[in-house]
A and B are shown apart, each in its own frame.
Chain A
Amino acid sequence: MKAKALAASVYVVDDEIDVLDSISILLDSLGLNVKCFTSAEAFLKNYQPSETECLILDVMMPTMSGLDLQTVMLQHGISMPIIFISGHSGIPESARAFRAGAVHFLEKPFDYDQLKECISEALRKSQEYRDDFICKRKASVLVQQLTDREREILILITQGHANKDIAKILNISTRTVEAHRFHIKEKTQATSLAELTTLVIHAQLN
């Protein structure tokens, strides 16, 4: 785990300097690579993506709150696991945070073991995100090679339609559908319907 952790970055955003400093020292003592920011704006300005990463984010901050930052990150396509920390926050806030993909919601002062666990989980998730991202990237590259007609037929295939049905829907001959199907399989190197379905999901063609 340690080797994995070394390659990972933990970002901490909290406006309370004392809290920020203490988290920094604690995570440092755990051998994590910590990057601290005193505001959401500072984070957005200085953020450099790394392979695995997670964010420890204070909810209550004056100009841009933690929840606001989460929204902005989603808008900018920055996806990383977020551990929210807060002195006191109500259920609605945490609900909103979870809906938006938060990993955890810790109340200050946080339990050390819980924090450690959260970070591990977050980093693991980050790795998953990354793998997922690579898959998707691959799928979308493969799908890009297809013609528009082929993509259309691919979607219909993954929706479970037989060649005959597809020919009827598109008002073309079954033979033509079969030809397309062959090309699709060839181009995407897929061997089964299941593989094609995964590809469509990863390429987010729907």
Chain B
Amino acid sequence: MKGLANEHNFATSNLLVINHKELMLMNPSTDIDNLRQRAELERANHRESLIAKSSADIGKMTTDEIQALVYELQVHQIELVMQNEELINTQQSLRKTENDYTRIYDLAPIAYLTLSQQGLIQQANIAATTLFNLSREKLLNQRLEKLIHADDQDAYYLFFRNVLKEQPSTYLTIRITNANQYSDNITITYLELKATVDKQENNELIIYLALKDVTAHKVLEDTLDCINKKQAIEINQQHSDLLNRQDLLNLKTAEIQDLHQSSYKLKEASAHIFNVSSEGIVMLSLLGVIESTNPAACLLFGYSEAELVGMSFNQLLITPLFSKSSINLLQNSQNNIASSYRVEGLHSNGCIVPLSLSLVDFTLEQSEHFAIVIRDNSLHLQQERLEKAHLAEIAHMTRLSLIGSMGSGIAHQVNQPLTAISNYSQACIQLIKAEQPDLTKLSEVLSKTYEQAQKAGKIIHRMKDLASQRTTSRTMTSIDTLIENAVNFCAHECYQDNIQVTLELNPNIPKIAMDSVQIEQVLLNLIRNAIDALKEQVKESDKTISIQTQLNKGLEVRVKDNGPGLTDLQKEKILMPFYTSKSSGMGMGLSISRSIIEAHGGTINFNSKLGVGTTFYFNLPIHGESL
């Protein structure tokens, strides 16, 4: 009995399945009648088997059994009625659900498309129409790929094929182009596709597509990408910058190491030089206290190093070098420019040693120091003295020859006053011889005679001075006096040759220690050279010699003529001894002038231009050494 019930149940459930499927498509009002009819039809179809069965069984059944069967059937019937009711309920709720889903389908913000196996759009929700900007009518039966961007169609094709093989790729991102109906702009929309596939009763496949607009996302992604790329570039740049800097730093480090090494070597070398130098070197503090010394300095002053260190440098000198003011003076002067001094040092045994000092100040570890290089000048001075004596001799010789060459001029200069004196004295005799001598006139003529005698005497005196062989002595002399003397010597010659001599003497030039006779000799030489140059001048233009003095690195004297100028050969040789362009003369004038000026610590030079003239100029230091 139990087995039968099971079969029944099975049959009922089968029936329900069919019914359920049909329910979906049937009109609910006609369902129950149709079901009854169909059930009866079924019963009629199965009657034979049923009867066959029952006829076989019923005969053998007892009343109780029949009653039980009837009961069973009645229960069954009730059961069926109940099932039917339940089915109707289910149908109603299904219908409601369907409506709900339809609404949701249409209202969903995500676009849904249903595609046929051929890829034709079967269904589309409102979101899809909005997305493609096409009406539902236009969308339906359209091929989806036609709406896809040409570049993404291959990807879509693969995706679709995979979907059909029921191996759907989870996602596909494609682009679609949709012409905006309001403008010509074609906007690109990025979509993310998700597909499921179902098989219909007719074995046709149906594809469900969900399309999500990811444009915003994509744009964001692109922006991020872009930013990332930029940042990457920046980072790369910074990285390479850093690398470069590192390289530079490495180089610098190497350089510093090199420098360090070379400075070490230098230090070693300096230390060595310091110790073996034949010239004394001492380091002083700002106040002139000796801080360190080398062996040569010890030898020079006759003290041990230990004795010298801590001593004031002034103690070693006759006249102190370091006063408050001299230090100030040094501090005002530029660094690293050595100042030179000639001083007299005091040896420990009491001897006076002539020294020349080179003094330089420097800053070491933020405090100021002085370094002094000391040279023993005894030998040097002796040699210098010899040289000077020698020079004096030669200068004297050339001076005599100069006077000789000027002899006729000087004689003429003396002859003029002599002539005047001679005439005046004769006139006096005539005046006295008169019957009534005119004494006023006589006195007048006599004083004129006296003046002329004085004049002649001065010329002779000047010549005697120039010719004298004095031991060289330097006295404080005004250059103006010397220039005037020299010009006077040549005055007659200039006058005869119609040469104008102009003097432009700077009144601010102090007296300078110099050998006046020798400097006058130089001036005479230069003026006479100028006169000779102007004598050669053929054209009768203005002949002028201008003599200027100016303060320019000491005293500068310029003797300028507007003569014919020097040729290149003359320029080359003019300062050399025994070179002369004159028929008479030794060619020693300029050479000895140069020696004299150089012995005075000055220089002599010239400029010359053919056809314009020649300028000889020499300068003498104003703070000459008092030797």
Contacts and interface: CB of A to CB of B under 8 A. Distances in A.
A18 B452 contact: yes
B496 to A, nearest CB: 6
Interface of B: 408, 411-412, 415-424, 426-427, 430-431, 445, 448, 452, 455, 495-498
Name B's interface SS: helix
How many interface residues does chain A have, given as a range? 20 to 34
A109 B419 contact: yes
Contact of B423 (A19, A60, A62, A63): A19
Contact of A63 (B411, B427, B448, B498): B498
A164 interface: no
A88 interface: yes
Interface stretch (A20-28, A137-145, A155-163): A20-28
13 contacts: A15-B495, A18-B452, A19-B420, A21-B420, A22-B422, A22-B452, A26-B426, A62-B496, A62-B498, A87-B415, A87-B416, A108-B418, A108-B419
A92 to B, nearest CB: 16
B408 A109 contact: no
Contacts of B452: 18, 22
**Residue of B415, B416, B419, B431 ringed by the most chain A CB atoms within 10 A:** B419
B416 A18 contact: yes
A29 B427 contact: yes
Nearest to B423: A22
B445 A25 contact: yes
B495 A87 contact: no
Given A26-B426, A110-B422, A19 B497 contact: no
Nearest to B433: A29
Contact of B419 (A62, A63, A110): A110
Task: Return the 10 tightest CB-CB contacts between A and B, nearest first.
Answer: A22-B423, A29-B430, A109-B422, A109-B419, A108-B419, A62-B498, A22-B420, A18-B420, A26-B427, A112-B426
Interface string A46-62: 00000000000000101
**Residue of B408, B412, B422, B496 ringed by the most chain A CB atoms within 10 A:** B422
Contacts of A23: 423
A62 B531 CA distance: 14
Contacts of A110: 419, 422
B365 to A, nearest CB: 74
B416 A26 contact: no
B411 A22 contact: no
Given A23-B423, A62-B495, A63-B498, 4 more contacts: A16-B420, A22-B422, A25-B424, A110-B422
B431 A19 contact: no
A168 to B, nearest CB: 58
A30 interface: yes
A19 B411 CA distance: 15
Contacts of A30: 430
Contact of B417 (A18, A60, A62): A18
Nearest to A85: B419
Nearest to A28: B427
A88 B423 contact: no
A109 B423 CA distance: 8
A117 B417 CA distance: 23
A16 B412 CA distance: 11
Contacts of A88: 408, 411-412, 415
A60 B411 contact: no
Contact of B427 (A18, A22, A60, A87): A22
B84 to A, nearest CB: 166
B459 to A, nearest CB: 13
Contacts of A15: 495
Contacts of B422: 22, 109-110, 112
Nearest to A29: B430
A112 B429 CA distance: 11
Contacts of B495: 15, 62
Given A25-B423, A109-B423, A16 B448 contact: no
Contacts of B431: 29
Nearest to B412: A87
B127 to A, nearest CB: 127
A29 B426 CA distance: 9
Nearest to B494: A62
Nearest to B414: A87
Nearest to B444: A25
B427 A16 contact: no
Nearest to B445: A25
Nearest to B498: A62
B543 to A, nearest CB: 10
Interface string A1-45: 000000000000001101101110110111000000000000000
B424 A16 contact: no
**Residue of A15, A25, A110 ringed by the most chain B CB atoms within 10 A:** A25
B438 to A, nearest CB: 9
B339 to A, nearest CB: 53
B546 to A, nearest CB: 18
Interface string A96-128: 000000000000111010000000000000000
